Amino acid sequence: MEAGTFDTASHHSVAKKTIYGLFGKRFFDLLFGSIIFIFSLPVMLLAALVIMIDNPGKPVYRQKRVGKNGTVFDLYKIRTMYIDQEHHGFRTTHGDSRVTRIGKILRDTKIDELPQLFNVIKGDMSLIGPRPLSVSEFEYIENLGIAETHPGFCPEVAPGLTGLEQVNRAGLHMPYVDRFVFNKFYETHLSPLWDLKILVKTFLLCTPVCILLGIAGLAELVWLTVPIYFGH
């Protein structure tokens, strides 16, 4: 499927309906997402430049993912694999030969995920939420016949840049059914306090990268404001 929406009418509804979920969460995403995006811009540009030098080609990779209520959207990442290698299996393995040298560093530091802040600002994703499945993964799991017995399979909330799965150090290779348990728990406990806890824990787990983003953001701010100040 290239675009559109998967039929999720038969899936169990577990999402907690709250004022925060309906309105406050989007404000939270726009406010913090925009700030982090601005601070991250220099790092993203540098990472894109380095990946192009290491392996020439487009630095930004787009992949079809399944979002809220089965809606398909384009997720953006800094490319970490050699050109045209992403089609050979939808899950990476330890020491995957498709990943470039620089790509491994970007993956380990999570810098490759930063372009998803654009998805957050657009409204495709949220800062906090379940990780979105690729279209290939979604179709694969539907064919296994386990979707109906696992409510967290197709979340009714926007997918997140980070979430319970990440801050609990659950690896990318954990069983899908375990990932769905995290999804269901998040949906049924949705609140600003939980989102704040997850965001803070994400920063603590990614402290070196957060410091780098902070320095880059401040340098960007100085670069933009000093000429204006002295110009007057």
Its pTM stands at 0.83
- Report CA-CA distances (Å) from 112 to 35, 44, 109, 168: 18, 8, 8, 20
- What backbone phi and psi angles, to 5 degrees, belong to 57? 145, 180
pLDDT reported for residue 88: 59
Helix (H) or strand (E) holding 202: helix 192-205
- pLDDT band at residue 9 under the 50/70/90 scheme: low
Rg of the chain (C-alpha set): 18
Domain residue limits, the chain = 19-231
Helix (H) or strand (E) holding 134: strand 133-134
Percent of the chain at pLDDT exceeding 90? 31
CA distance 125 to 185: 18
What is the torsion angle, in degrees rounded to the nearest 10, for the CA atoms of residue 61, residue 66, residue 68 and residue 72?
80
pLDDT reported for residue 11: 55
Give residue-wise pLDDT tens across range 183-206.
889 988 899 999 999 999 998 888
Q: Which residue has the tokens 């997720």?
A: 75
pLDDT: is 121 or 155 the higher one?
Answer: 121
Range in 22-31, 115-124, 128-137, 211-220 with the lowest mean pLDDT: 211-220
CA distance 203 to 209: 9
Q: Is the pLDDT of residue 228 over 70?
A: no
The tokens for 189 are 């406990």
Give residue-wise pLDDT tens across range 157-179.
899 999 988 888 655 567 888 88
Q: Is the pLDDT of residue 114 over 70?
A: yes
Helix (H) or strand (E) holding 72: strand 72-78
Q: Taking all residues of the chain, what is their mean pLDDT, rounded to a whole number?
A: 82
Give residue-wise pLDDT tens across range 63-111.
999 998 889 999 999 999 888 766 655 666 667 788 888 889 898 888 9
CA distance 155 to 95: 31
- CB of 25 closer than 8 Å to CB of 18: no
